[in-house]
Structure 1
Amino acid sequence: MSETRIKLMDPKIDFAFKQIFAGNSQESKTVLIALLNAILDRDEDEQITDIIYLNPYTDKPFDDAKQSIMDIKVKTAEGELVDIEIQIRNTDNYRKRSLYYWSAMYAEQIVAGESYFEINPCIVINILDFNLIRENEHYHSVFDIRERRRGFQLVGDLEIHYLQLNKLSGQADATGLTTLEEWLIFIKDAANMKKRGLIETIKKRNEVIAMAEKILARASADEFARAAYQQRRKWYLDRVSSEEYLIKQGIEQGEKIKALDIARKMLSLDFTDEQISLTTGLSKEEIAALRKE
């Protein structure tokens, strides 16, 4: 069965993302190395050549989607630690969250009595389906530690990347795309049938992305993987719906509080109940209750 005839899982859902880039195959390792090199954009002699998965994909089923950690952690042949994840929701304070992930990786490398020379650089890569870095219009922002005036680097041990899919300009064709942009468009639109023509063009230009879609197609056709994916996707949708409801409730509650405050001020200025009701939208019963305060 051709992968284009299968309803592909959406790589923006972290379960599908991990199926592609951390599956139990050499192909997954190949596509992850290619993605990392596209993101890090290093000179040819500094590119990643091999990785070891520190939290590989497992076929073990999970009962609680919330408790399933879907980031991918690897160690490169040069000893660097890399954590890469995809997120579709802006949770908590995401900037501090990614810094915390980096600090945990960095601190866990040594125990008491060991030399700080043993600590390897750590890289955190965040692929986001929302806009986080509003200070920069470009889709790719990279942060490290530098001296404020002169701009030189303190150490090369901290590197945090934010790749914001929503900032990719709408592409009608693959003309002029960088390798990184090809990867990000694949991640963003592989499951979007309206973008199938663009994805097919990218696959012809980039054989490793074609390999990535074959992995995704196999996972999408697997009954167990599909069920686990749907569970994870449903959890995300439920969370989004719940948050939207709470936001709406908060707005409505805020508007109510504002209306009550205005009504109290109008009462102090001897406005009539009818005037207050027309201005604030409060009922006459609510205004009567305020008069008794």
Structure 2
Amino acid sequence: MVYVKPTSDIFIKYLFGKEEHKPLLLDFINAVQKSCDFPLIMDLEIKNPFNIKTIAAEKESILDIKAIEENGKTYNIEVQTSGKGVYKHRSLYYWSKLYAAQLMKGDQYKKLYPVSCINILDFELFNLKGKYHLCFVPRELRDPSLILTDHLALHFLELPQFTTANMDMTLEKWLYYLKHEGSDEEDTTMKTLLEDNPRLAEAHEKYSAFTRDEEK
């Protein structure tokens, strides 16, 4: 079995973007939601499922994951292994494209639904020590308790800022997994996570299958 970095874009697309892997996607998104005290979700429809042949044929593959709740809310997951401060603008731009794409010419604005972008970053974007999960929503400048709308949420998960796993927090378990999968067979923390968390154990099985597949 060869080593594949678990934050490689094609593996993330494979892990969260296949229909049969949807329970993993739900578990991960709910871990992010719970971290911000946002409502948990029950089901999703993956709008751009993983297809190795399509990816191989595209000159410029789109390897993010788009999924929609029954209530119309869109979730977009993207992984980035390097970047600078401009990535903040890129994430906002992607959000705006997803948000605007909901309407056709002549549609009423009431047809717009929330869009949440979850960015998994393998680099430091904000350089705030110990703050590995930042979520931005539009608030009133002088009264942060006053939120303009729940239609915009930008999550940034900075893996370099994450160091230890709190066994009581699902998001931290996922982040530990994404940082350490496949890198150290003697990692006792990883062994404990895989033994205690069925979803992470399933993710580990998917990783093993992925790295054994020559085409992928």
TM norm structure 2: 0.91
Contact 2:129 2:161 (8 Å CA) reproduced:
no
Structure 1 match to 2:16: 21
Distance 1:44 1:175, change over 3 A: closer
Q: How much does 1:122 deviate?
A: 0.3
Q: Which of 139, 145, 165 matches 2:138? A: 145
What does 1:1-293 align with in structure 2 at a 5 Å threshold?
Answer: 6-25=1-20, 28-41=21-34, 46-60=39-53, 62=55, 67-90=60-83, 93-135=86-128, 137-151=130-144, 152-169=146-163, 171=164, 176=167, 178-193=169-184, 196-225=187-216
Q: Which string of whole-angstrom CA distances, capped at 9 and with x for unpartnered residues, describes residues 191-221 of structure 1?
A: 2116632211111121111111111111211
Q: Distance in 2 between matches of 1:176 and 1:107?
A: 39
Structure (1 or 2) with the larger CA radius of gyration: 1
Q: Deviations over 1:18-67 (max 9, x none)?
A: 11111242xx1000000000011179993111111111101315457861
Q: Equivalent residue of 2:53, what SS? A: coil
Provide the alpha-carbon RMSD of the alignment.
2.3
| Closer/same/farther in 2, CA of residues 53 and 62 from structure 1, 3 Å limit | closer
What is the deviation of 1:158? 0.3
SS at match of 1:11: coil
TM-score with structure 1 length normalisation?
0.68
Q: For 1:41, what is the secondary structure of its paired residue?
A: helix
Q: Is the 8 A contact 1:53 1:75 kept in 2?
A: yes
Report how many aligned residue pairs link the two structures: 215
Identity %: 32
Bigger mean CA offset, 53-62 vs 194-203: 194-203
Q: 1:39 to 1:149 in 2, by over 3 A?
A: same
| Deviation at residue 79 of structure 1 after TM alignment | 1.3
Decide whether aligned partners of structure 1 residues 117 and 203 sit closer, same or farther in structure 2, where only a CA change above 3 A counts: same
Q: Which runs of 5+ in 1 are unaligned?
A: 1-5, 226-293
Report the CA distance between 1:134 and its aligned residue: 2.5
Please list every run of 5 or more consecutive structure 2 residues that lacks an aligned counterpart in the other structure: none
The whole-number CA distance in structure 2 between the counterparts of 1:204 and 1:163 is 24
Provide the rounded CA distance (Å) in 2 between the counterparts of 1:65 and 1:191.
28
Change (3 A) 1:17 1:43: closer
Inter-partner Cα distance in structure 2 for 1:148 and 1:175: 33
